[in-house]
Amino acid sequence: MTTVELTRFRVDPERAGDLLAARPAMLADFRADRAGFLDAHLVRLPGDEWLDVVYWAGPEDFAASRAKGANRPGIAAFFAAIAELISSEDGTAH
């Protein structure tokens, strides 16, 4: 079953452009380096908060990706724009 990663975070308003500019390279790095990566959607929420919804083929793919962290430049640039992690959870899509 597909694993869905839900990560909510805050971005300082002056860094929102950096976050959006880094997104294409982050997704390219995920496609190149993350087995089981299926898709991702970024949602802008009120109050300088964002929600990243990432789909993985399974929980083992999500766990392997998490273990790699920001190991590629596009991923590192995206993470660098984040001021604060609010929450992170995962579940199974039905």
Residue 13's pLDDT band, with cuts at 50, 70 and 90, is very high
Residues in the chain: 94
> Distance (Å, rounded) from C-alpha 82 to C-alpha 10?
6
pLDDT per position as a tens digit, 39-90: 999 999 999 999 999 999 999 999 999 999 999 999 999 999 999 999 999 9
Residue 35's pLDDT band, with cuts at 50, 70 and 90, is very high
Burial class of residue 20 (count of CB atoms within 10 Å of its CB; 0-12, 13-18, 19+): middle
Residue 17's pLDDT band, with cuts at 50, 70 and 90, is very high
What's the fold here for domain 3-92?
Alpha-Beta Plaits (3.30.70)
C-beta atoms surrounding 87 within 10 Å = 9
Say what the pLDDT of residue 43 is.
Answer: 98
